[in-house]
Amino acid sequence: MKKLLKYLDSYKKESILGPLFKLLEATFELLVPLVMSDIIDKGIAFGDTGYILRMCAVLVALGLVGLLCSVTAQYFAAKAAVGFATKLRRALFGHIESLSYSEMDTVGSSTLITRMTSDINQVQNGLNLTLRLLLRSPFVVFGSMVMAFTINVKAALVFAVVIPVLCAAVFGIMFAGMPLYQKVQKGVDRILGITRENLTGVRVVRAFGKEADETAGFDRENEALTRMQTLVGKISALMNPVTYVIINAGLLAVLWRGGVSVNIGELTQGQVVALVNYMSQILVELIKMANLIITITKALACAGRIQAVFEEKPSIQASAAPARKAAEGRGAAVAFEHVSMVYKNAGAESLTDINFAAKPGETIGIIGGTGSGKTTLVNLIPRFYDVSEGRVLFDGTDVRELPLSELRDKIGVVPQKARLFAGTIRDNLLWGDETASEEELWKALETAQAKEVVEKKDGGLDARVAQEGRNFSGGQRQRLTIARALVRKPRVLILDDSASALDFATDAALRRAIREMEGAPTVFIVSQRTSSIRYADQIIVLDDGRVAGIGTHEELLGKCPVYKEIYDSQFDSGQAGRAAGEGRAAE
């Protein structure tokens, strides 16, 4: 929590004024029992109505001034807490955006969402109550004890015994509950993860009729979380009865001692009433303190989880080299020099000794079985991951020596899963280049074979896009994501199995249009279909993270058994001939 307090620096004034006004309110509150004592001993005892009315006016004044101080304190505390949470949320989001794929894979998106929302709200509530009550409640508790000693030392000794016993009970319960709250938050993470997975994959769940199984799995996790929350609730529930028992025992002692003292003339009736009032104030404040401690315990647990995210340092550090002006003309040269790559916490290499070079403007096809490392390979070019061994060169420079912004500005990536964002088609396309003109947007759509899709939509470029593009078909989403990458006019274009939902003719027309682009980029096509890469300048065949063959389609059919097996599994001899003819016609 201490490290997070730097986000409170802008609210130092509010953080001081909030507790200060609460202490002023508490001071006026401590005066009330003394005024009541005087009303009883000097007003009621002697039947002095004027004195009683004057003291009642003093009570009203103390109440109004206390209310004003309380409202002012709450305003400053709320302003500081909300401002702190706003800055913390902004910083956390920015930090998450800086994390590389490795850290995102390790931490998990569901827990990051929980920490961005629920955890920060808990910290905000904890800070708000801390500013209002952390000083006020102890001040009233010990102030009541001091005021009791000013009335009568012997009677006040009860306070000296009751307060330490109460503190021991309250803090004992707090320390018992703190680790359990951390477990509860982890349970919330698991529930959120299951819920998110089911909502995003609801069609798959229903297609396989697994609703009952998923519901049962959710119920198991939900029941485990409920049991943990029940245990925490039981421990927390001890707070009120324990404090009430101790306080009431103290009240009995005060009344007993006070009654004896009044009988022998050591105390007045008003003073006994004042002592009882001070004991009642201690009860109220310790109940507040108990609830505050529960809230602080939750807030500290959540703050630790938030700090853990901040301590996740991005494994990919941007180069300090100054950005250079992007080169003009055809695509960039890309080379892999004995590249190996191991995922974080993985036991084996995903890529081993990858060695090849792509010339500017070439089309490189990448094919292989599931899990052979195709996506891993292309993710190394824009430095989504860093190599474990070897080098990836971009125009002769190691990508680790290039500023990330410069490198990624030259690369257009179309990921495996076509993902659009809520907004308009124009908004999504401008992600590629926010300065692009309308003419450039339409040109990119035409190249991506998506022009007709947009023209048929009401509003054209300003047609609405639902979250994740759910109001578009799979093929339409793929073409729009390709257009978004093309708006950037990249020197390297990576199509990671991004034409899987396109028919053969559209796929071929797309590849032809990309090749005919002005300043044609170097294109990497990852595909499961040999028909999509058969006309590439080079085809790289991967098998279990290793290069099984490099060459043209015809060369690989003759010398690479892995490629021939993939090709034969997709075409028999008759189909192969027809596919070749259709592909050449489309090309």
Q: What is the pLDDT of residues 364-397, one digit of tens each?
A: 999 988 888 899 999 999 998 889 899 999 998 9
Residue 354 included in any domain: yes
> Which pLDDT belongs to residue 321?
57
Residue 317 included in any domain: no
More confident residue, 235 or 412: 412
Q: How far is CA 389 from CA 46, 332, 340, 426, in A?
A: 96, 22, 5, 41
Any idea what the CATH number is for the domain that residue 274 is in?
1.20.1560.10
Residue 322 in this model has a pLDDT that exceeds 70: no
> Which pLDDT belongs to residue 22?
92
Tell me what the mean pLDDT of segment 526-532 comes to. 85
Domain count of the chain?
3
Tokens at 428, concatenated: 């999504």
Same domain for 444 and 517: no
Domain end call among 448, 470, 489: 489
More confident residue, 181 or 492: 492
Residue 315 included in any domain: no
Mean pLDDT of the chain: 85
- Closest of 335, 363, 352 to residue 539, by C-alpha: 363
Same domain for 560 and 431: no
d(CA 218, CA 223): 8
d(CA 469, CA 471): 5
> Which pLDDT belongs to residue 74?
93
Q: Which residues have a Cβ under 8 Å from the Cβ of 522 and sit 6 or more positions away?
A: 330, 331, 332, 333, 334, 358, 359, 360, 361, 362, 363, 364, 491, 492, 493
d(CA 117, CA 124): 11
Residue 400 in this model has a pLDDT that exceeds 50: yes
Same domain for 122 and 6: yes
Same domain for 286 and 208: yes
Residue-range definition of the domain harbouring residue 561: 330-410+491-587
> Which pLDDT belongs to residue 572?
63
Report the chain's terminal Cα–Cα distance, integer Å: 62
Band of the pLDDT at 323, cuts 50, 70, 90?
low
Q: Which residues have a Cβ under 8 Å from the Cβ of 97 and sit 6 or more positions away?
A: none
Any idea what the CATH number is for the domain that residue 465 is in?
3.40.50.300
d(CA 554, CA 533): 12
More confident residue, 379 or 529: 379
Band of the pLDDT at 91, cuts 50, 70, 90?
very high
Tell me what the mean pLDDT of segment 107-131 comes to. 87
Same domain for 337 and 281: no
Tell me what the mean pLDDT of segment 244-256 comes to. 83
> Which pLDDT belongs to residue 191?
87
Same domain for 574 and 517: yes
Helix locations, 238-387, DSSP H = 239-264, 269-310, 374-379
Phi–psi pair at 538, nearest 5 degrees: -140, 145
Same domain for 105 and 27: yes
Phi–psi pair at 126, nearest 5 degrees: -65, -45
DSSP string, 323-357: P-PPPPSSPPPEEEEEEEE--TT-SS-SEEEEEEE
Residue 406 in this model has a pLDDT that exceeds 60: yes
Residue 219 in this model has a pLDDT that exceeds 80: yes
Same domain for 184 and 56: yes
Same domain for 446 and 377: no
Same domain for 496 and 484: no
Residue 497 in this model has a pLDDT that exceeds 80: yes
- Closest of 498, 499, 517 to residue 508, by C-alpha: 499
Residue 338 included in any domain: yes
d(CA 394, CA 494): 14
Residue 322 included in any domain: no
Instruction: Look up the pTM and report it.
Output: 0.71
Q: Are 198 and 214 in contact (CB under 8 A)?
A: yes
Angle at which helix 269-310 crosses helix 120-133, to 10 degrees, equals 150
Place of tokens 């403007």: 361
Residue 320 included in any domain: no
Over the stretch 538-573, which tens digit does the pLDDT of each residue have? 999 999 889 999 999 999 998 999 999 989 888 764
Please name every residue paired with 523 in a beta bridge, in sequence order, or none if there are none: 363, 493
Residue 405 included in any domain: yes
Same domain for 175 and 49: yes
